[in-house]
Structure 1
Amino acid sequence: MTLLSDRLEASVAHTIAGISNGGLQGETCAPELADGPWAFDLGMPGYGPGASQGDSLPAGSPTQGELPARYREATPQQLSDWIAAAKASLGSRVAVMGHFYQRDEVVQYADFVGDSFQLARAARELPDAEAIVFCGVHFMAETADILTGDDQAVILPNLAAGCSMADMADIDSVEECWAELEALFGSAPDESGRVPVIPVTYMNSSAALKAFCGEHGGIVCTSSNAATVLEWAFERGQRVLFFPDQHLGRNTAKAMGVPLSAMPLWNPARVSGGLSADALRDSRVILWNGFCSVHKRFSVSQIEAARAAHPDVRVIVHPECPMDVVDAADAAGSTDFIVKAIAAAPAGSTFAIGTEINLVQRLAADYPQHEIFCLDSVICPCSTMYRIHPGYLAWVLEELVAGRVVNRITVDERVADGARIALERMLAARPDTTMAA
């Protein structure tokens, strides 16, 4: 394994800084990525630079106040010393969660590293921790708050770290869709006891949508257990309403044998989703018009270029990628699947990976016996994950040392109750570990 100091020298943030100052060759999707994220916290609409910079930020989205100058002006070494001292002072009273897509400069301080599902489960298994500092995005912190005790504080270091995909399905739009589906199908079960529609929301969604699923007989899924969850839903319903990510829904259902003709796409910006009553009646999975801007960047032409340059390459992509990309790859699976596939490969393997650049570059540094590269040559991280910076982590930890809780994420108890039902159903839906996705 690569030493931490060497890995930080090869980190995405270090690479972007080098490209910006002309010291390294390459291209980023946004030169502003080299700036501290606090430059976008005050009065700056949008998700910030990165893959989601072109997505529309909904009105009323959480915003972050100004980070104190002490942290904005600190050197990396100062921030490192402050974080280490705060963690030593707090001990087991605080746990730091780091998502796979976080920059290495943050992940190095995490007590637990994983995907959103793994981190939510880890948070639930720490009943003695007084605070969970979640270095991820807003919906992840919400999920951790739902699954942890009332006396535990869940903290998001930068409140502006949202998720553009999660924002593509809001509770009002989903309720409008559901009302139209109920008007068309009713709510009575068929002769086999299956109701007309079962709602399924991806983990990448608000607590309100998880609660909606819990209250309407539905469930939450992850990229690891999406097939298991769809099987669960088909046992109970004649069709599924799947939101917010159309690509995960389409790729998973297609692999299960559901024809594309039975997967109409509901566009909440159009009357009746832009769909006819016949299209809805013939559906098995009604997909929502949402997507991940990170995984939307990957293309078949990138895969073809990788195969041309590396004949023995193994291409693995995330199932949030478009269908043609998943079809052209050798395998598709969750971030955890990607990590395990690389860890288990014989030395000298070559991988082209279609997922967020921070994880890909970390894997390349951690497994130098392989050749690992991102399908997309442009350095373009997740906009919102990138809003978390060591400066914010130092701030929230030092505030805890001083006895103050800042940036606490709290889900209303009524919402939490419904969401918890859907999440517990998800936790009980164990995926087949022999499946790729």
Structure 2
Amino acid sequence: MVLAKFMDISMLPEKYKSLTQEQMETRIREIKDKLGEELFIPGHHYQRDEVIQFADVTGDSLQLAQVAAANKKAKHIVFCGVHFMAETADMLTEDDQIVYLPDMRAGCSMADMANIYQTEEAWLELTKTFGDTIIPLTYVNSTAAIKAFTGRNGGACVTSSNAKSMVQWAFTQKSRLFFLPDQHLGRNTAFELGIPLEHMAVWNPISGKLEYEGALEDVKVILWKGHCSVHEGFTVYNIQEVRKKYPNMNILVHPECSREVVALSDDNGSTKYICDVIEAAPAGSSWAIGTEMNLVKRLIATYPDKHIISLNENMCPCLTMNRIDLPHLLWALEIIEQGGQGNVIAVDKEVTAQALLSLERMLARA
């Protein structure tokens, strides 16, 4: 099966490495003005400030793809995010709209932890063991191929915002759930819905084995052994240190953090939820936030009337997301301005049709 096609036009030309920030910003504004409504730039919350200043809209991954799909005027969609986000945008937009990723190295380590070959092998083994009792759900932070897998097997996509409602829906379809690629979001969501940890197993794609010590008939949730390298960096020790230093500080984390971290926090939720909570919080309130550093820094700058810190102040920004920078954005825009196409994200039609089944089952319950 052909999966997703990427038109990569090699590495960043040398000329972009010698431009000043002011020169690049000036050129980007010129191109945006010239192309007008034909150009649309979505920017994910985790992008650098230097890039986000040129975004026509900011948001989380699915929100940006939906906004891109609703924009029928834009011919060129330059997605400032990572591969799977641009793939989703391509699948949801019209055939005559072109989606670009400024730097093809901007991937997602979590999405890459579940490839289609491993997933098909896992499904074969799991259905041998559990029969026709399993429904797959995939986090939108997954490749188009994995979305297509869930689509053709009766499953759906989930976001961190709607994971609870989608897990509840999944259990109206089958008695067991196969959740990939992020074990932490799956575990935290299922636990909050009342499923005991001892009824959750983990599928290890490296060993090709189910990690579980109890009786197999007790398994309700099968979690893919994947994770977000950023959010797994927040630890119980970080929480203990914040509690010591700031006893009255609220701790708010993303559900991609481990179960232990979520359990010890005051609240958890999606990127959008975190932004909304901080916006609504009273002046003078104190917050330690467990999510990507670029967003935390932006919240600190946006709300100076609140005391905001990172739960782990030694954390780095998402390294793959940060591959999108001013030189790559300008490069992508100049190619478009010159009538060329480079770093185009184009998902195979068969994959798109199957993946859309997964996305549409989720959107129908949004």
The answer (yes or no) to whether the contact 1:211–1:416 under 8 Å persists in 2 is yes
Give the aligned partner of residue 361 of structure 2.
425
Moved more, 123-132 or 213-222: 123-132
Paired residues, what number?
362
Equivalent residues in 2 for 1:91-130, closer than 5 Å: 91-130=36-75
Quote the residue 1:299 is aligned against: 235
Partner of 1:286: 222
Specify the alignment match of 1:383 in structure 2: 319
Equivalent residue, structure 1, for 2:86:
141
Deviating above 6 A after TM superposition, structure 1's stretches of 4 or more consecutive aligned residues are 60-64
1:270 pairs with 184, 202, 207, which one? 207
Residues of 1 paired with 2:177 and 2:198: CA distance? 14
Q: Give the corresponding residue for 2:250.
A: 314
Give the gaps of 5 or more residues in structure 2.
Answer: none
Partner of 2:17: 72
How far residue 185 of structure 1 moved from its aligned partner, in angstroms, is: 2.9
Pairing of 1:208-287 with structure 2 (within 5 A): 208-275=145-212, 279-287=215-223
Q: 1:413 to 1:389 in 2, by over 3 A?
A: same
Amino acid at match of 1:158: D
Shift of 1:354: 0.2
Q: Is the 8 A contact 1:135 1:157 kept in 2?
A: yes
Q: Is the 8 A contact 1:223 1:333 kept in 2?
A: yes
Once residues 269 and 217 of structure 1 are traced to their aligned partners in structure 2, the CA distance between those partners, rounded to angstroms, is: 25
Larger relative strand fraction? 2
Counterpart amino acid of residue 135 in structure 1: C
Corresponding residue for 1:206? 143
Please tell me whether residue 83 in structure 1 is matched to residue 28 in structure 2: yes
User: Secondary structure of the equivalent of 1:200?
Assistant: strand
Q: What's the % identity of the aligned pairs? A: 51
- The one-character-per-residue Cα deviations of 1:403-430 (angstroms, maximum 9, x if unpaired) are 1121110000000000011001111222
From 152, 159, 182, give the equivalent of 2:104: 159
8 A Cα contact 2:233 2:315, kept in partner? no
Q: 1:344 aligns with which of 260, 280, 301?
A: 280
- Equivalents in 1 of 2:118, 2:327: separation in Å? 36
- In structure 1, stretches of 5+ residues that fail to align are 1-59, 188-195, 431-437
TM-score, normalising length: structure 2: 0.96
Task: Give the Cα separation in 1 of the matches to 2:241 and 2:99.
Answer: 43
SS in 2 for 1:264: strand
Q: Deviations over 1:370-419 (max 9, x none)?
A: 01110111140111001100111111111111111211100000000000
Amino acid at match of 1:127: K
Q: Which amino acid aligns with 1:100?
A: H
Separation of aligned partners in 2, 1:326 and 1:272: 27
Equivalent of 2:76 in 128, 131, 143: 131
Residues 231 and 131 (structure 1), Cα distance of their counterparts in 2 relative to 1, 3 Å cut: same
Residues in 2 aligned to 1:418 and 1:386: alpha-carbon distance in whole angstroms: 30
Corresponding residue of 2:296:
360
Report the Cα distance in structure 2 between the residues aligned to 1:303 and 1:181, rounded to whole angstroms: 37
TM-score normalised per structure 1: 0.81
Secondary structure of residue in 1 paired with 2:344: coil
CA offset digits 1:145-187 (Å, max 9, x no partner): 0000010000000001011100111111111111112222333
* Matched position secondary structure for 1:409: strand
**Cα drift, residue 64 of structure 1:** 6.9
